[in-house]
Amino acid sequence: MDWYPLYNSLRIALISSVIVFFTGIFAAYYIARLNRVVKGILDVILTLPMVLPPTVVGYFLLLLLGAKRPVGMWFQEQFGIKLVMTWYSGIFAAAVVAFPLMYRTARGAFESFDETLAYSGQTLGLSNTYIFWRIRMPACRQGILAGAVLSFARALGEYGATSMLAGYTPGRTATISTTVYQLWRTDNEALAFQWVVVNVMISAVVLLTVNMLEEKNRKERR
């Protein structure tokens, strides 16, 4: 059994999760402080990938990063880097579809934060950076960690946008999801089922982790 799809899926999910973790927290923190109208508009834009079909997300990414599109052409000409049909193309797809989960979860955590703690820190002369990392983040850690785990799971199981942006090449761009589809399409159901089992096991671990974080969060609030 070729384990490349598992390795490739894990590295794509891990790298995209790191990107989504920081960008999601940054967006959630600053957007939560905006007025209702601006917040509503940005919410729609940033959450749209969560409700759009993944193939539509992949289509928009191809319009942006395709070899004959401005961004894709610029990277090809300047750095000799292809942004589509490579293993790292999956990072773009996974990050875009996983971002809304991290953003919404982190924003909910920040909005439930007791701002009097931050005000108390300011009266003691603490910097906003110190308050954010040493007071706000620890207080919101359960929600943020849950968002990070869910984002990882979403990135790991992404298929539609990844198949359009990275395609399927064994040993180069194959992921678990694209491998399952290709094996099923070629009537290799036994091997496809094995990959399904691997994916289900990983997803079960992720869900158990989220449930443990939520249970811990409930206990801390009591």
| Cα(198)–Cα(189) distance, integer angstroms | 14
Using the predicted structure, report yes or no on whether residue 47 has a pLDDT greater than 80.
Answer: yes
The predicted pLDDT at position 73 comes to 85
7: helix, strand or coil: helix
Q: What is the pLDDT of residue 199?
A: 86
Q: pLDDT-based confidence at 217, cuts 50/70/90?
A: low
Q: What is the pLDDT of residue 7?
A: 92
Mean residue pLDDT of the chain comes to 87
CB 106 within 8 Å of CB 144: yes
- State the pLDDT at residue 98: 93
Q: Computed over its alpha carbons, how large is the radius of gyration of the chain?
A: 20
Report the range of poorest mean pLDDT among 37-51, 72-86, 207-221.
207-221
HSE-CB at 219 with a 13 A cutoff on CA atoms is 6
Q: Is the pLDDT of residue 211 over 80?
A: no
Which residues make Cβ contacts (< 8 Å) with residue 195, sequence separation at least 6?
5, 176, 179, 180, 183
Structure tokens of 89?
């193309």
Residue type, 186: T
Instruction: Give the pLDDT confidence of 163-191 residue by residue, as tens digits.
Output: 888 888 888 989 999 999 899 888 898 89
Mean pLDDT of 206-221: 72
Say what the pLDDT of residue 189 is: 87
Range of the domain at 190: 4-221
Q: What is the CATH number of the domain that holds 118?
A: 1.10.3720.10
Q: In angstroms, rounded to a whole number, what is the distance separating the alpha carbons of residues 21 and 204? A: 21
pLDDT for residue 210 is more than 90: no
Per cent of the chain over pLDDT 90 is 24
Whole-angstrom distance, CA of residue 15 vs CA of residue 31: 24
Confidence bin at 135 (pLDDT 50/70/90)? confident
> Treating both helix axes as pointing N-terminal to C-terminal, what angle do 4-31 and 36-51 enclose, rounded to 10 degrees?
170
How many domains is the chain built from?
A: 1
Place of tokens 């809304």: 100
pLDDT at site 218: 65
